[in-house]
Amino acid sequence: MFVTSQGSSYARFRRALDSGNLTLATTAAAELPRIDLPDALAVLLLMAAQGDPRYDRAATRWLSRLALERPSIRLAHVDQGVDALRALADDPGQGRTPVGALCEQHGLPQALRVLAGGPPPRAGAEPPSRR
């Protein structure tokens, strides 16, 4: 595998998210074989904040993935998710609360970190040390 001086595809994706550059984030995301739900939520947050016209489709896809990947999701939770994602589109700041409630209810602590403004930890990565 060839790695450029820019680092891995995932590192480029994280840098784009951290800088708030939606164009670079979606370009880097396209290079990845898979994006987990917390990272996809980070992209959704950028889309909502920037009023991106692709938000509705991306939110639908995120909620669909949540329903498929979390066995605790029931039809009522899908309704809750639709309302939460609409709230996020309407007010990206305040809309984080209902999305967070849904993520907490279904065991997505990494998504809660994304909603709180921190990046999700990489799989297998150790937590940062506190000095």
Judge whether 61 lies within some domain: yes
Measure the CA–CA gap between 27 and 46, rounded to whole angstroms. 14
Asked if the model's pLDDT at residue 114 lies above 90, the reply is yes
Report residue 38 as tokens: 């917390």
Tell me if 103 sits within 8 A of 111, measured CB to CB: yes
Judge whether 86 lies within some domain: yes
Measure the CA–CA gap between 95 and 82, rounded to whole angstroms. 12
Under 8 Å CB-to-CB from 96, ≥6 apart: which residues? 45, 88, 115
Judge whether 106 lies within some domain: yes
Number of compact structural domains in the chain: 1
Asked if the model's pLDDT at residue 119 lies above 90, the reply is no
Judge whether 97 lies within some domain: yes
Band the pLDDT of 117: cuts 50, 70, 90: confident
Judge whether 21 lies within some domain: no
Judge whether 7 lies within some domain: no
pTM, two decimals, is 0.83
Comparing C-alpha atoms, which of 74, 44, 48 is closest to residue 62? 44
- Domain residues for the domain of 92 are 36-115
Asked if the model's pLDDT at residue 5 lies above 70, the reply is no
Judge whether 102 lies within some domain: yes
What 8-state DSSP symbol labels residue 7? Answer: B
Q: Residue 121's pLDDT is what?
A: 42
pLDDT tens across 42-92, in order? 999 999 999 999 999 999 999 999 999 999 999 999 999 999 999 999 999
Judge whether 30 lies within some domain: no
